[in-house]
Amino acid sequence: MSPGQRPPSNRPPPRVATVLRRLQRAYGPRPWRARGTPLDSLIGTILSQHTNDTNSGAAMQRLQEAFATWDDVADAPLPRIAGAIRVAGLHRQKARTIRQVLRRIREDRGKVSLEFLRRRSTREVKDYLRALPGVGPKTAACVLLFCLKRPVLPVDTHVHRVSRRLGLIGEKTSAEQAHDVLAERVPDEKVYAFHVLLIQHGRQVCHARRPDHAACVLRDLCPSADT
């Protein structure tokens, strides 16, 4: 231990139910609502990577204004797709991923649609989405949670950071590994609320560099508050 460094906290991690109760009191309840089509949800999640909701929403709107159908996007030149989604950042990379995904779906299914996923099991949906170009566990989980209303927890940077600080996952647990760890610890009926509330808490209080311990409703439960 380096000079001046505090010893690690011996405080045990809090119960998920207690964390959710505190966060719901602070930010309000989060009822679970399914929305959109599976394909819209998938493309929207790709656009949301490494940017904020405002930019990804604007990129999705501009993409849909620029092209009449997803088939048109699949057949479009990459510079035209990239130009439409520039506001989302990493627009060339995302354009390439989106076109590859759309073409793969059309090749597999004969049309650009993911409506068939509504009739498939959660495992089958995960396997199909994860096999698409550039689709990782978080993106697949977002489609399952937000569109298909399946209890699958997406672990983004906020969920990962807050869960690690609370001790709900290990200090060295990666975001990808956290999907499986948290799936065992968060009850199915609480997955949606856990996801959206931890994101809000991460954005407003549990910041990456300087968490606002004074404003944190979880401070007395949080092992990292002692370090």
pLDDT in tens, 64-96: 999 999 999 999 999 999 999 999 999 999 999
Domain spans of the chain, in order of start: 16-31+154-226, 38-147
Q: How many helices (H) and strands (E) does the chain have?
A: 11, 0
Could you please report the per-residue DSSP string of 80-147? HHHHHTGGGSSHHHHHHHHHHHHHHHHHHHSSS--GGGGGS-HHHHHHHHHTSTT--HHHHHHIIIII
pLDDT 10s digits, 111-136: 999 999 999 999 999 999 999 999 99
CB 166 within 8 A of CB 222: yes
Is CATH 1.10.1670.10 the classification given to domain 16-31+154-226? yes
Is CATH 3.40.30.10 the classification given to domain 38-147? no
- pLDDT, position 186: 95
Q: Crossing angle, helix 191-204 and helix 157-166, to 10 degrees?
A: 90
- pLDDT, position 174: 94
- pLDDT, position 14: 82
Give CA–CA dist 37/147, Å, rounded.
Answer: 6
Q: Which residues does the annotation mark as catalytic?
A: 138
CB 220 within 8 A of CB 179: no
- pLDDT, position 10: 55
pLDDT 10s digits, 177-219: 999 999 999 999 999 999 999 999 999 999 999 999 999 999 9
109 falls in which pLDDT band (50, 70, 90)? Answer: very high
pLDDT 10s digits, 2-58: 333 333 455 566 889 999 999 999 999 999 888 899 999 999 999 998 888 899 999
